[in-house]
Amino acid sequence: MATMTFREALNQALDEEMARDPKVFLMGEEVGQYQGAYKVSQGLLDKYGGDRVVDTPITELSFAGVGVGAAMVGLRPVIEMMTFNFAILALDQIYNNAAKMRLMSGGQYKVPITFRGPNGPAHMLSAQHSQATESWFANVPGLKVVSPATPNDGKGLLKAAIRDDDPVIFLEAELMYNMKGEVSDEADYVLPLGKAHVAREGKDVTVITFSKGYHHAMGAAEALAKDGVEVEVIDLRTIRPLDMETIARSVRKTHRVVTVEEGWPYGGIGAELAYCISHDLFDQLDAPVTRVTGLDVPMPYAENLEHLVLPAPRDVIAAINAVRYRS
């Protein structure tokens, strides 16, 4: 296992897939000459040339549309959004063409396209650049939504996303690019989409999370372990499709559930999880499903207010204590 940053693992995945399949190409703002706003595409322009690492104007709707068309005729585009806040400008292409084309063509067209880039709260970038967009995309039939929590998962899931024949929304937590972790050194390391990972075994409470929320959950679990509380942490990895089999197996063991995400509470991923668990596993629950989310407000700019809005391990600990009926 090699140790590398999240950005290096993503760069390695892109490099390996572009070397493996000449139909894979990268397109987006500053992905070429500047080597990516977050340096995820570093070195790829020199290696693969301007036909496969394509700098675009600041026109998200247009280059998303070019990507959809390229996918329809057999290429495998990877479209980088400088931030998924800017993907709002491309939603017509993502929602109405990428997601629907396979169905509306009666299966005549596949759309093997990956939209990837930073997502979620950053640091002091204020309301228009700090939005967690996963629930927006997960609501759309035809899209797969992936949000890795570690460098290892980032590499394995991005390779799977690029190979998938359906459109994949690949969300990278903006504050995780410098995070280091071990990454598999297998020759062709690919993780399956749609399969959650039990990151920590436990018997008292199940915590379900993804992306940066995973690190809050693990921090809470480690703190509570000192008091003898065994928390099971499930990293969803893929938000849609949802791995209810792994979730159900854990709920039948612990009978208590907390969900953790950085997005807004109304219509969030935790709300969907709470419904699915309550509907399918109601008799297994010893307490209501409890959600930990960001506050239901636009993100403030001031650093002290930003800390108040975002969830932290202390909030996960409080939620775990609540479902255990502890103060």
| 201-232 residue pLDDT tens | 999 999 999 999 999 999 999 999 999 999 99
The band of 312, judged by pLDDT with boundaries at 50, 70 and 90, is: very high
In the chain, what is the straight-line distance between the N-terminal and C-terminal CA atoms, in Å? 41
Q: How far is CA 163 from the centre of its chain?
A: 17
Q: How far apart are CA 32 and CA 27, in angstroms?
A: 8
> Strand 231-235 and strand 197-200: pairing?
antiparallel
pLDDT digits (tens, 9 = 90+) for 61-119: 999 999 999 999 999 999 999 999 999 999 999 999 999 999 999 999 999 999 999 99
Q: Rounded to whole angstroms, how far apart are CA atoms 2 and 184? A: 7
- Quick one: pLDDT band at residue 313, thresholds 50, 70, 90? very high
pLDDT band at 122 (very low <50, low <70, confident <90, very high): confident
How confident is the model over 284-291, as a mean pLDDT?
Answer: 98
Domains of the chain: 2-183 (3.40.50.970), 197-323 (3.40.50.920)
The residues with which 247 forms a beta bridge, in sequence order, are: none
pLDDT at 279 over 90: yes
The Cα–Cα gap between 73 and 113 comes to 11
Q: State mean pLDDT over 309-325.
A: 97
Which pLDDT belongs to residue 39?
Answer: 96
- pLDDT score recorded for residue 327: 74
For 134-173, the pLDDT digits (tens) are 999 999 999 999 999 999 999 999 999 999 999 999 999 9
Residue 3, phi-psi category: left (phi > 0), alpha (psi -120 to 50), beta (remainder)? beta
Q: What dihedral do alpha carbons 60, 63, 69, 74 form, nearest 10°?
A: -120
Residue numbers annotated as active site:
60, 129
**Which residues, including other chains, have CB under 8 Å from residue 23's CB and lie 6 or more apart?**
74, 75, 76
pLDDT for residue 180 is more than 80: yes
What is the pLDDT at residue 181?
97
Determine the pLDDT at residue 211.
98
CA gap 160, 250 in Å, rounded: 25
Q: pLDDT at position 1, please?
A: 87
As a whole number, the mean pLDDT across the chain is 97
Is residue 320 within 8 A of residue 229, CB to CB? The reply is yes
7 membership: H or E segment, kind and range? helix 6-20
Residue with tokens 């403030």: 300
Average pLDDT score over residue span 17-42: 97
